[in-house]
Amino acid sequence: MEELDWSNLSFGYMKTDYNVRCYYRNGKWGKLELSSEETINIHMAATCLHYGQEAFEGLKAFRGKDGKVRIFRPEANSQRLQSTCNGILMPELPTEIFIEAVKTAVKANERFIPPYESGASLYIRPLLIGTGAQVGVRPANEYLFIIFVTPVGPYFKGGFATTPYIITRKYDRAAPLGTGIYKVGGNYAASLRASQEAHAAGYSAEFYLDAKEKKYIDECGAANFFGIKNNTYVTPLSTSILPSITNKSLMQLAEDLGLKVERRPIAEEELSTFEEAGACGTAAVISPILRIDDPDNNHSYVISKDGKPGPVCTKLYNKLRAIQYGDEPDLHNWVTIVD
């Protein structure tokens, strides 16, 4: 294979050698299958196409200085997928199958795992879809689970940096008792327009307020929000936020660093009190926030006074990345080594 330009990869799809598939039929999951086919053949009445029976996950594998390949917290992704399955009436995929499928997909595409020095990684995308034909609104009786992988570049090409965000009042991503807590495609469809408008206006992403009162901070784009003040890590508690595994990990690391951790509703006005803030998720780990504009109120919350990422965000970012790449000990047993 021609050597890939590892440090200039974007976050896009690149064909790799194999994907892994597992079918659910007659009430049970079948054997894992390795496929080199990029397309799938499904019934036109499949429930994923009509009624949104679709769940996905996102995680990464990293090559360390020692040459070993580490997958970050796959058990947590498996549990979250099970929770999503429960939420939209799809059969839960057992964790053993999920982990086996992730390892198989990573190993089979070993030559696409970027070298340590590049700062790039292998993105792993599991998805589960209802494939059974159904016209009436009810869950399918057949499902397909797939994992494909694709190498992705370092998120911060010009180095870890702050960017601006915008509060949207025009759109909600998810309802308070809706599917916001599940990783389903429907939530993304609901956010595409808001996201496109935010990008067109020069922002990294849109900030959602809680859909009921429009008072509290919910999510920022497809990432969780956290703020830092008075040696405390504060992140919203809400019934419409997707439980980010990155956020969960950062809460633990913050505690390890001696910070207090609070999960509670964050009113919009409280944004003016944070010394630092960030958006977090698998893609970037942390995107430090420069400022959050609220054009409808003609207000701008300036988070980073000097325009740079703050010391706590920087420490947390470096710490989590060091664990992922194996540069620091994995004290919380987050990493699965592929051998």
Ligand X SMILES: *Cc1c(COP(=O)(O)O)cnc(C)c1O
- Among the listed residues 224, 238, 240, 324, the single contact to ligand X using CB under 6 A: 224
- Among the listed residues 244, 287, 324, 336, the single contact to ligand X using CB under 6 A: 244
- Among the listed residues 22, 61, 105, 223, the single contact to ligand X using CB under 6 A: 223
- Among the listed residues 183, 291, 319, 321, the single contact to ligand X using CB under 6 A: 183
CB-CB contact of 54 with 48 (8 Å)? yes
CA 184/CA 102 separation, integer angstroms: 19
Nearer to ligand X, 22 or 76 (CB): 76
181 touches ligand X (CB under 6 A): no
321 touches ligand X (CB under 6 A): no
Beta bridge partners of 23: 144
245 touches ligand X (CB under 6 A): yes
- Among the listed residues 53, 204, 235, 282, the single contact to ligand X using CB under 6 A: 282
Residue 222: CB minimum distance to ligand X, A: 4
- Among the listed residues 19, 78, 82, 246, the single contact to ligand X using CB under 6 A: 246
Residue 191: CB minimum distance to ligand X, A: 8
Residue 78: CB minimum distance to ligand X, A: 12
- Among the listed residues 71, 101, 242, 271, the single contact to ligand X using CB under 6 A: 242
Q: Which one of 64-72, 82-90, 130-138, 222-230 is the stretch in contact with ligand X (CB under 6 A)? A: 222-230
CA 297/CA 287 separation, integer angstroms: 24
Binding mask 94-133 for ligand X (x = CB under 6 A): ----------------------------------------
Residue 26: CB minimum distance to ligand X, A: 31
Q: Which one of 87-95, 209-217, 241-249, 254-262 is the stretch in contact with ligand X (CB under 6 A)? A: 241-249
Longest dimension (CA), the chain: 60
| SS3 assignment for the chain | CCCCCHHHCCCCCCCCCCEEEEEEECCEECCCEEECCCCCCCCCCEHHHHCCCEEECCEEEEECCCCCEEEECHHHHHHHHHHHHHHCCCCCCCHHHHHHHHHHHHHHCHHHCCCHHHCCEEEEEEEEEECCECCCCCCCCCEEEEEEEEEECCCCCCCCCCEEEEEECCCCCCCCCCCCCCCEHHHHHHHHHHHHHHHHCCCCCEEEECCCCCCEEEEECCEEEEEEECCEEEECCCCCCCCCHHHHHHHHHHHHCCCEEEECCCEHHHHHHCCEEEEEECCCEEEEEEEEEEHHHCEEEECCCCCCCCHHHHHHHHHHHHHHCCCCCCCCCCEEEEC
Nearer to ligand X, 18 or 253 (CB): 253
- Of residues 190-219, which lie at the interface with ligand X (CB under 6 A)? 219
Residue 132: CB minimum distance to ligand X, A: 25
58 touches ligand X (CB under 6 A): yes
222 touches ligand X (CB under 6 A): yes
Interacting residues toward ligand X by CB under 6 A: 58, 183, 219, 222-224, 242, 244-247, 281-282
